[in-house]
A = this chain, B = another copy of it.
Amino acid sequence: MIGETHRFTLRALKTQHSLHLPPFSSLSSPMADPSPKPVPLLKDQLDIVIPTIRNLDFLEMWRPFFEQYHLIIVQDGDPNKVISVPQGFDYELYNRNDINRILGPKANCISFKDSACRCFGYMVSKKKYIYTIDDDCFVAKDPSGKDINALEQHIKNLLSPATPFFFNTLYDPYREGADFVRGYPFSLREGAPTAVSHGLWLNIPDYDAPTQLVKPRERNTRYVDAVLTIPKGTLFPMCGMNLAFDRELIGPAMYFGLMGDGQPIGRYDDMWAGWCVKVICDHLGLGVKTGLPYIWHSKASNPFVNLKKEYKGIFWQEEIIPFFQSATLSKECTSVQKCYIELSKQVKEKLGAVDPYFNKLADAMVTWIEAWDELNNTSEETSSKQPNGAAK
C-alpha cells in the first residue's frame, strides 16, 4: 500500500497555524445532524502524534476511531525512506530533514533514532489536545468483547476534572455511577483541570529490560475498569505509548529529552517527561490521570537491546527520582515555560554531578522551550526568524 506523504515547509506550517478553530467541539448529536458520520469529540481540537520508522499499516485497525482526526507523523531514522500511510487519513509528516529545516540549530534538542522524536509533533501541533500512540499498539477489547475507543476515553479523562489533593476510594468521582465518598471534603469536589491522561496496555506490559529478561512470557491480561488521579506529590512512570494531554495546560513540559543517536541513554524519554510534567502539574495545581483506556500492545521489544539503552538509566533513576521528589518551584513560576526553565536550572545544578549528560540535557530543555515559543508565538516576527539551515 502506497500512501501519500506530505512534507510541510515552514510556509505550510504557518498556514495551518493561522486556522481559526471552533471554541469547542460538541458531542455528536445524530438528531440535529443528518450526516451519516457523527462528528467525533474534539475533532478540530486534537492531533494524533505518531512516531514511526515503518509503514503505518497499524492505522487500518484504528480507522473507525482515528479517521476523522488529523495525524502528525514524525518519521524517525532515514529521511529518504518513504513511509506509507493508509488511504483516507488526514496527516502531515515530518522527517529529520523537515525537523532540521523548521528548527534550524535548535533541532539538536529533538532526539534522533529514538521515539523521543515524537515531541516534535507536540511542538508543531496547533491544537489544544494531543494524543500520542506507538505504531505497535492496536485496538484492545473490553471484557465484554467490544473494541475500546481509546481516544474517546482519553478525551473523557481530559475533559473531566482531576482530584490530586485527596484520594477518592471509588476512583474517578466524575464518572457515571460514581461520586465522592463520605469523608471527601466538599471544598475539593470541583476538582482540578486535567492536564494528562495516561492510558495502559493489555498483552505486552511496559516492563524494563531486566523484568523482560526475567519474565519473558508475562502478559497483562487484567482489565482494571478505573481511571484515577495520581495524587499531588507522587511521581509515576509515565509511558508514552498511549498518552494524551492538554497542550495549552502542559504542552511545553512534554519534552522527551535527549535519547538515542549520540546519547548515552534511551527508553527514558517518556519517563523524563513524566517526572518533569508531574512536578510542574503539582506546582500549578493541575491533574494527571492514569488507568483507562487500554490499547493492545502487540510486540515486546528486544530485551537485550533495551538493556543496553536503559543501562545507565537504571543507575541514574535512583538519583533522578529523589531529585524530582524534592524539587520545588518558586512562586514566580506562573507558566509552564517558567516552571520548565527553573527546572532545567535545578537539573544542571543537582544532576550535573551525576553525569555530564545532565548538563547537556538541561541545555536542551532550554532550547526546547525557545523552539516551542518560536513555533507557538502568534507574532509573525518570531516565526519568520526560522532559518532553512540544517541542524548542528
From B180, B182, B317, A183 is in contact (CB under 8 Å) with B317
Interface size (A, Cβ < 8 Å)?
58
Chain B residues positioned under 8 Å from A200 (CB to CB): 169-170
Contact with B along A233-251 (1 / 0, CB 8 A): 1111111000000000000
Chain B residues positioned under 8 Å from A377 (CB to CB): none
Q: Is the interface of A mostly helix, strand, loop or mixed?
A: loop
Contacting chain B: which of A221-229, A335-343, A353-361?
A: A221-229
Chain B residues positioned under 8 Å from A143 (CB to CB): 143
Given A225-B223, A231-B233: A239 in contact with B205 (beta carbons within 8 A): no
Contacting chain B: which of A56-64, A118-126, A266-274, A382-390?
A: A266-274
A292-341: which have CB < 8 Å to B? 310, 314, 317-318, 321
Q: A240 to B290: give the CA distance in the assembly, Å.
A: 27
A184 to chain B, nearest CB (A): 6
Contact with B along A200-211 (1 / 0, CB 8 A): 100001111011
Point out residues on A near B: beta carbons under 8 Å: 143, 166-171, 177-187, 198, 200, 205-208, 210-211, 215, 218-226, 228, 230-239, 267-268, 270-271, 274, 290, 310, 314, 317-318, 321
- Some 30 contacts from A to B, beta carbons below 8 A apart, are A166-B234, A166-B235, A167-B230, A169-B206, A169-B237, A170-B220, A177-B218, A177-B221, A178-B205, A178-B222, A179-B207, A179-B218, A180-B211, A181-B205, A181-B208, A181-B237, A182-B211, A182-B267, A182-B310, A183-B237, A183-B239, A183-B268, A185-B317, A186-B210, A186-B314, A186-B318, A225-B225, A226-B226, A231-B231, A234-B234
